């Protein structure tokens, strides 16, 4: 996830008068939305486009359960942590399940609670940000990444936190959905369903506020569909990593991916990325991942 810093600070500039749009000449998409089950007029659906580059992943060498939410949380108790292979990154913290090219991901799903974010003390990197997302590819397949989720961004000088919903098909498009509400502790459900390696439908639902946005995308960058991702990311702004705030634990519940064959996989045995000194990821019983701030590292 990478945005141009100047664009980050601008106000919403795209008010969708038409349901069909083109991004960077190669990516076309339509967007529809509902509020409490009723259609939202296209004129009220607003996107803020971001300039973008590659989403970066840098490889280097008992947690409490979240607050309950009857709409979003599977009632099955989390019984035990699982031992997973681990890897370190400079900006990804979360779970990646790598699949075979002969039986790739068709659909990925996850639910999470948007965290409460706070300024990390001692950091002078501007701004601070943490992006929570569900996606396909971007790890072993680096040519493309399709992702959607939420982000908190903090102005270091004022401490003001801005919470947003966004989606991106790297390297072709990145958008914030400025008309979709998001508050700390809201539960979100994300589903990305691919119809081919270049076409997909993203469904983002704020379960707490009963808003659903569906984005249908055609002619996207070619996915291999071999990585199923549930991640909290320290995003790039331009070519510089953002500061990484502190945040309440992020649980990815009901984390699963359906394959072309019809089989379903989850995070059982998936690789867990850690950001050393800043963030840790842990699998619980195959269907849940918890991501939490670790240590007291400061960023310059």
Task: Point out the catalytic residue in the list 48, 189, 233, 283.
Answer: 233
End-to-end CA distance of the chain: 21
Query: How many residues in the chain?
Result: 300
Q: Which residues of 120-148 are buried (b: 16+ CB within 10 A; e: fewer)?
A: beebebebbbbbbbbbbbbbebeebbbbb
Angle at 129 (CA atoms; ends 192, 202), nearest 5 degrees: 10
Q: Are the C-beta atoms of 209 and 261 separated by less than 8 Å? A: no
> How distant, in Å, are the alpha carbons of 103, 195, 273 from that of 232?
26, 26, 10
Residue 201 annotated among the catalytic residues of the structure: no
Query: Going along 114-226, which residue ranges are E strands?
Result: 117-118, 128-137, 145-154, 161-170, 173-177, 187-194, 200-206, 211-218
Q: How far, in Å, CA of 12 to CA of 57, rounded? A: 28
The set of catalytic residues is: 233
């Amino acid at each position: 996830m990478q945005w141009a810093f100047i664009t980050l600070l601008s106000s919403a500039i795209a008010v969708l008068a038409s349901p069909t749009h083109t991004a960077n000449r190669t990516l076309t998409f339509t967007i529809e939305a509902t509020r409490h089950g009723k259609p939202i007029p296209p004129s009220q659906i607003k996107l803020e486009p971001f300039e973008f580059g590659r989403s970066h992943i840098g490889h280097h060498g008992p947690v409490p359960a979240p607050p309950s939410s009857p709409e979003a949380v599977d009632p099955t108790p989390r019984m035990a942590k699982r031992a997973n292979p681990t890897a370190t990154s400079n900006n990804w913290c979360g779970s990646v399940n790598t699949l075979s090219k002969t039986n790739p991901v068709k659909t990925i799903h996850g639910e999470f609670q948007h965290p409460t974010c706070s300024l990390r003390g001692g950091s002078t990197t501007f701004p601070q940000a943490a992006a929570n997302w569900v996606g396909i590819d971007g790890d072993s397949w680096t040519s493309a990444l399709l992702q959607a989720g939420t982000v908190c961004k903090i102005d270091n000088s004022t401490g003001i936190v801005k919470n947003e919903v966004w989606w991106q098909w790297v390297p072709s498009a990145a958008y914030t959905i400025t008309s979709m509400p998001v508050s700390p502790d809201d539960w979100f459900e994300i589903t990305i369903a691919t119809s081919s390696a270049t076409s997909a439908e993203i469904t983002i639902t704020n379960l707490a506020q009963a808003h659903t946005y569906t984005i249908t995308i055609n002619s996207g960058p070619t996915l291999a569909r071999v990585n199923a991702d549930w991640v909290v990311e320290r995003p790039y702004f331009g070519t510089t990593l953002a500061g990484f705030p502190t945040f309440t634990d992020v649980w990815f519940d009901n984390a699963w991916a359906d394959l072309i064959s019809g089989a379903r996989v989850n995070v059982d045995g998936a690789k867990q990325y850690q950001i050393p000194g800043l963030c840790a990821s842990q699998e619980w019983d195959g269907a849940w991942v918890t991501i939490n701030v670790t240590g007291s590292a400061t960023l310059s």
